[in-house]
Structure 1
Amino acid sequence: MRAYLEIFRTTIAEYLVYRLSFVLWRVRTVITLLVRYYLWLAIFEKTPVIFGYTESHMLTYILLSSVISHLVLSTKTADVAGEIVGGKIINYILKPVSFFKYQIAKDLADKFLNISFAVFEIAILIFLLKPPLFLQTDITMYIYMIYFVIIGLIISFFINISLSFIGFWTPEVWGPRFIFFMLILFFSGTYFPLDILPTPLYYATFLTPFPYFFFLPSRIYLGLPPNHLVVFAIFGAVWVFISYYATKQLWLKGVRQFSFFGR
């Protein structure tokens, strides 16, 4: 456990070395959030309800989904691809620590920093903008929300590290990762809640892992029927298994085929 805590601290220390890059990244995310916020604010000036959403519900969704996305999607696993291509991956294989636990420790440090800044930024925006927000009073919704945040974290980790494992076979890893993030933009509810889509298309999105990243936890906070939650919970568990199994198989095949020189 001490080894992984040290990895956690070291990862945070690395960010502090490159403070300017991290601050610029946070500034960009705040600007992106403000664009989404004011876009929907302008739309609600013309009508009190859109696609079944009131202004308070929509703005709550925009702010909450932003916080959850920073927790779920932030990752250090993208670095693994470069380490595979450069041959450094052998150092992790030979270390007396679990490769996956090592990556999880780094990921947790990354998520800790990102969520800390995200909560701070959102708190300032709420204080300055004073948006009308929806407050959920049903404790059950909070329990389900936490469950699906955990589901999203697990799926996101496995998919992200699987994309890096492509480096075992080709150095062209950026292409698949770029496509992955484009799919997130369209199918995870980045700019709007997915349930404003036509019903067949809305349910079709749950055949992908993307709604579990931050749309579903945010939507649950606003309230969902219990029968829907049970179905989504089952589908989420299935996606956890699929992503875990795919990651495990890619890792085993990649390590078996991995060749390195000068080590």
Structure 2
Amino acid sequence: MSTPRIAFIGAGNMAASLIGGLRAQGVEASAIRASDHGAEQRTRISAEHGIETFASNAEAIQGSAVIVLAVKPQVMKAVCLELAEHLADGQLIVSIAAGITCASLEGWLSQAGQASPAIVRCMPNTPALLRQGVSGLYANARVSAEQRRQAEQLLGAVGLALWLDEERLIDAVTAVSGSGPAYFFLLIEAMTAAGEKLGLPRDIAARLTLQTALGAAHMATASDVDASELRRRVTSPAGTTEAAIKTFQAGGFEALVEQALNAAARRSAELAEQLGQ
């Protein structure tokens, strides 16, 4: 990355994952710094990645080209209001906080008479902690082509980074991939429990389920056809797989998934409205 310095405001798990990804890509420790009010967090992330840390957010952002807001949504307003008077022209703000819109960030970060800052809003998911994540990114009108590249490289350090043309689609990203890992965990739970009821020892049922999930994900990502075709190829007429698939569909599986994602998207929009006040 060509930026002279990247500052992380907040040094929690997601910040640590992003920093680790950047370091793995060859970004020097001297180009990264982080601030956190917790001394233990500062000590941990400094020891793990060799970066400079600060108790003061304002001090951390001085001279930084990219500022990553990695704090909880509930404290974002206070953090932004604190940072506003210390921002410099040309700095890129990258927010990875769920439910905080660009409009809210612009309002909190803009000083009277100053232009709104360049902001990229991101929705990563928890597999980013293993550098297997996926993020939806949206840039406001102030973000330059170079800053888009910087944001993409930042989130790309922990997985796939996909750009959105409309900010409202962040709610859909939240429903599909932001909350998505929990849906798969629920299926893993259910399959493990069902396997145990069929007579398998619980540890065997769990290992069978987990390896099947991993193998299916690898097949889907490596294939040049979509999931429906992959499903068709493994579903023999009148076979065991077809019996299970028909049972899923008779229970309204597809409609239930759609209802669940709609509920998640609605809740994402509601939280954005509540947190943006």
Higher helix share: 1
TM-score tier, shorter chain, comes to under 0.3
TM-score (norm 2): 0.26
Higher RCO structure, 1 or 2 (CA under 8 Å, sep 6+): 1
TM-score (norm 1): 0.27
